[in-house]
Protein backbone atom coordinates (compact mmCIF):
# COMPACT_ATOMS: atom_id res chain seq x y z
CA UNK A 1 0.00 0.00 0.00
CA UNK A 2 1.41 3.38 -1.02
CA UNK A 3 1.80 5.97 1.72
CA UNK A 4 0.68 9.55 1.28
CA UNK A 5 3.52 11.78 0.11
CA UNK A 6 3.92 15.30 1.52
CA UNK A 7 5.41 17.85 -0.86
CA UNK A 8 7.30 20.89 0.43
CA UNK A 9 8.15 23.99 -1.59
CA UNK A 10 11.27 25.04 0.27
CA UNK A 11 14.26 27.33 -0.04
CA UNK A 12 12.46 30.50 1.06
CA UNK A 13 14.81 30.51 2.91
CA UNK A 14 16.89 27.42 3.31
CA UNK A 15 17.30 27.58 7.11
CA UNK A 16 13.55 27.88 7.57
CA UNK A 17 13.02 24.83 5.36
CA UNK A 18 15.62 22.84 7.28
CA UNK A 19 14.00 23.88 10.56
CA UNK A 20 10.59 22.83 9.25
CA UNK A 21 11.91 19.41 8.25
CA UNK A 22 13.45 18.98 11.69
CA UNK A 23 10.14 19.88 13.34
CA UNK A 24 8.33 17.32 11.19
CA UNK A 25 10.87 14.74 12.32
CA UNK A 26 10.75 15.58 16.03
CA UNK A 27 6.92 15.65 16.19
CA UNK A 28 6.61 12.03 15.03
CA UNK A 29 6.76 9.14 17.47
CA UNK A 30 7.72 6.01 15.57
CA UNK A 31 8.83 2.49 16.38
CA UNK A 32 10.88 1.98 13.20
CA UNK A 33 12.14 4.49 10.65
CA UNK A 34 9.70 3.18 8.04
CA UNK A 35 6.87 4.68 10.10
CA UNK A 36 7.96 8.25 9.37
CA UNK A 37 5.87 10.06 6.76
CA UNK A 38 7.20 10.21 3.22
CA UNK A 39 8.34 13.70 2.21
CA UNK A 40 9.52 15.27 -1.02
CA UNK A 41 11.34 18.54 -0.29
CA UNK A 42 11.86 20.72 -3.36
CA UNK A 43 14.21 23.49 -2.25
CA UNK A 44 14.31 26.42 -4.67
CA UNK A 45 16.12 29.42 -3.18
CA UNK A 46 16.19 30.96 -6.69
CA UNK A 47 12.49 31.89 -6.42
CA UNK A 48 12.40 35.71 -6.68
CA UNK A 49 12.16 37.68 -3.43
CA UNK A 50 8.53 37.88 -2.36
CA UNK A 51 8.88 40.99 -0.21
CA UNK A 52 10.82 42.88 -2.87
CA UNK A 53 8.04 42.23 -5.40
CA UNK A 54 5.13 43.05 -3.08
CA UNK A 55 6.75 46.30 -1.90
CA UNK A 56 7.58 47.39 -5.47
CA UNK A 57 11.35 47.10 -5.11
CA UNK A 58 11.50 44.41 -7.79
CA UNK A 59 9.52 43.58 -10.92
CA UNK A 60 10.35 39.87 -10.70
CA UNK A 61 7.08 38.16 -9.92
CA UNK A 62 7.60 34.97 -7.86
CA UNK A 63 4.25 33.50 -8.88
CA UNK A 64 5.44 31.69 -12.02
CA UNK A 65 8.26 30.04 -10.07
CA UNK A 66 5.88 29.02 -7.29
CA UNK A 67 3.41 27.54 -9.78
CA UNK A 68 6.22 25.65 -11.53
CA UNK A 69 7.36 24.22 -8.19
CA UNK A 70 3.84 23.19 -7.21
CA UNK A 71 3.24 21.51 -10.57
CA UNK A 72 6.57 19.67 -10.31
CA UNK A 73 5.53 18.27 -6.94
CA UNK A 74 2.09 17.42 -8.28
CA UNK A 75 3.63 15.51 -11.19
CA UNK A 76 5.90 13.70 -8.73
CA UNK A 77 2.81 12.36 -6.97
CA UNK A 78 2.54 14.32 -3.74
CA UNK A 79 -0.89 14.34 -2.14
CA UNK A 80 -0.57 17.69 -0.36
CA UNK A 81 1.80 20.67 -0.38
CA UNK A 82 3.23 22.69 2.51
CA UNK A 83 5.07 25.99 2.03
CA UNK A 84 7.27 27.10 4.95
CA UNK A 85 7.20 30.75 3.88
CA UNK A 86 4.47 33.13 5.01
CA UNK A 87 5.07 35.92 2.49
CA UNK A 88 4.59 33.48 -0.40
CA UNK A 89 1.01 33.02 0.84
CA UNK A 90 0.31 36.42 -0.74
CA UNK A 91 -0.04 34.29 -3.92
CA UNK A 92 -1.99 31.49 -2.23
CA UNK A 93 -5.24 31.74 -4.20
CA UNK A 94 -3.62 31.82 -7.63
CA UNK A 95 -1.19 29.09 -6.66
CA UNK A 96 -4.00 26.86 -5.42
CA UNK A 97 -5.89 27.36 -8.66
CA UNK A 98 -2.87 26.19 -10.65
CA UNK A 99 -2.80 22.65 -9.20
CA UNK A 100 -5.42 20.05 -8.37
CA UNK A 101 -3.95 18.97 -5.00
CA UNK A 102 -4.49 20.79 -1.70
CA UNK A 103 -1.99 23.37 -0.47
CA UNK A 104 -1.98 23.83 3.30
CA UNK A 105 -3.17 27.32 4.20
CA UNK A 106 -0.79 28.49 6.90
CA UNK A 107 -2.70 31.76 7.32
CA UNK A 108 -5.94 30.04 8.34
CA UNK A 109 -4.05 27.51 10.45
CA UNK A 110 -2.32 30.33 12.34
CA UNK A 111 -5.55 32.25 12.92
CA UNK A 112 -7.14 29.06 14.26
CA UNK A 113 -4.18 28.54 16.62
CA UNK A 114 -4.58 32.09 17.95
CA UNK A 115 -8.32 31.54 18.45
CA UNK A 116 -7.67 28.33 20.35
CA UNK A 117 -5.70 30.39 22.86
CA UNK A 118 -8.63 32.82 23.17
CA UNK A 119 -6.28 35.66 22.25
CA UNK A 120 -7.88 38.74 20.68
CA UNK A 121 -4.95 41.17 20.63
CA UNK A 122 -1.79 39.86 19.00
CA UNK A 123 1.44 41.48 17.89
CA UNK A 124 2.50 40.31 14.43
CA UNK A 125 6.17 40.00 13.53
CA UNK A 126 6.45 39.55 9.76
CA UNK A 127 8.24 40.75 6.64
CA UNK A 128 7.49 44.11 5.07
CA UNK A 129 5.91 42.16 2.20
CA UNK A 130 3.53 40.28 4.48
CA UNK A 131 2.51 43.51 6.21
CA UNK A 132 2.17 45.67 3.09
CA UNK A 133 0.44 42.85 1.22
CA UNK A 134 -2.01 42.40 4.12
CA UNK A 135 -1.34 38.69 3.84
CA UNK A 136 -2.79 37.79 7.25
CA UNK A 137 -5.61 40.35 7.32
CA UNK A 138 -8.49 38.23 6.04
CA UNK A 139 -7.64 35.18 8.16
CA UNK A 140 -7.37 37.22 11.36
CA UNK A 141 -10.48 39.30 10.61
CA UNK A 142 -12.58 36.15 10.18
CA UNK A 143 -11.58 35.12 13.70
CA UNK A 144 -12.08 38.57 15.25
CA UNK A 145 -8.38 38.98 16.01
CA UNK A 146 -6.94 42.48 16.44
CA UNK A 147 -3.41 42.92 15.07
CA UNK A 148 -0.78 45.20 16.56
CA UNK A 149 2.17 45.97 14.28
CA UNK A 150 5.68 46.90 15.44
CA UNK A 151 6.86 50.51 15.25
CA UNK A 152 8.93 51.38 12.18
CA UNK A 153 12.28 51.13 13.94
CA UNK A 154 11.38 47.76 15.43
CA UNK A 155 10.18 46.52 12.05
CA UNK A 156 13.50 47.57 10.56
CA UNK A 157 15.34 45.52 13.18
CA UNK A 158 13.15 42.51 12.45
CA UNK A 159 13.79 42.78 8.72
CA UNK A 160 17.53 42.94 9.30
CA UNK A 161 17.34 39.80 11.42
CA UNK A 162 15.19 38.01 8.83
CA UNK A 163 17.61 38.68 5.99
CA UNK A 164 20.65 37.83 8.09
CA UNK A 165 19.10 34.42 8.70
CA UNK A 166 18.23 34.04 5.01
CA UNK A 167 21.85 34.70 4.05
CA UNK A 168 23.34 32.47 6.71
CA UNK A 169 24.88 35.42 8.52
CA UNK A 170 25.63 34.93 12.19
CA UNK A 171 22.86 36.36 14.34
CA UNK A 172 21.92 36.76 17.98
CA UNK A 173 18.54 35.73 19.37
CA UNK A 174 18.70 38.57 21.90
CA UNK A 175 17.13 41.10 19.52
CA UNK A 176 14.07 38.95 18.88
CA UNK A 177 13.71 38.04 22.56
CA UNK A 178 13.87 41.71 23.60
CA UNK A 179 11.33 42.80 20.98
CA UNK A 180 9.00 39.96 21.97
CA UNK A 181 9.19 40.81 25.68
CA UNK A 182 8.45 44.48 24.99
CA UNK A 183 5.41 43.65 22.83
CA UNK A 184 3.96 41.49 25.60
CA UNK A 185 4.65 44.17 28.20
CA UNK A 186 2.81 46.73 26.05
CA UNK A 187 -0.42 44.73 25.94
CA UNK A 188 -0.21 42.02 23.32
CA UNK A 189 -1.68 38.77 24.60
CA UNK A 190 0.35 36.74 22.14
CA UNK A 191 3.16 37.36 19.68
CA UNK A 192 2.79 35.66 16.30
CA UNK A 193 6.08 34.92 14.57
CA UNK A 194 4.62 35.45 11.12
CA UNK A 195 7.87 34.84 9.28
CA UNK A 196 9.50 31.43 9.15
CA UNK A 197 13.00 32.93 9.50
CA UNK A 198 12.03 34.39 12.87
CA UNK A 199 10.85 30.92 13.87
CA UNK A 200 14.42 29.70 13.39
CA UNK A 201 15.70 32.28 15.91
CA UNK A 202 12.92 32.02 18.49
CA UNK A 203 12.93 30.40 21.88
CA UNK A 204 9.89 28.36 22.84
CA UNK A 205 7.34 30.31 24.88
CA UNK A 206 3.65 29.84 25.76
CA UNK A 207 3.09 33.48 24.75
CA UNK A 208 4.61 33.06 21.29
CA UNK A 209 3.08 31.33 18.27
CA UNK A 210 5.67 29.79 15.97
CA UNK A 211 4.18 29.32 12.50
CA UNK A 212 6.62 26.51 11.65
CA UNK A 213 5.18 24.54 14.57
CA UNK A 214 1.69 25.26 13.24
CA UNK A 215 2.60 24.14 9.72
CA UNK A 216 4.30 20.96 10.93
CA UNK A 217 1.27 20.02 13.05
CA UNK A 218 -1.09 20.68 10.12
CA UNK A 219 1.06 18.67 7.72
CA UNK A 220 1.16 15.68 10.06
CA UNK A 221 -2.62 15.80 10.53
* C-alpha–C-alpha distance, residues 217 and 35, integer Å: 17
CA 206-25-159 angle, to 5 degrees, is 55
- Report, as residue numbers or ranges, the catalytic residues: 85, 195
SS3 state of residue 116 = helix
Kindly list the distances between the CA atom of residue 8 and the CA atoms of 5, 17, 36, 154, 206, in Å, as whole numbers in the listed order: 10, 9, 15, 31, 27
SS3 state of residue 42 = strand
Amino acid sequence: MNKALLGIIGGMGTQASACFYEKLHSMQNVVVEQDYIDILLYSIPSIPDRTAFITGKSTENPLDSLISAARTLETAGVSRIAIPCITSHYFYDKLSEAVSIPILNLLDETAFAVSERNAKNICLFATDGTIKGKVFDSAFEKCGINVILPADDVQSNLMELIYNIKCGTEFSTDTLNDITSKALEEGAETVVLGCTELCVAAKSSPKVINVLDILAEAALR
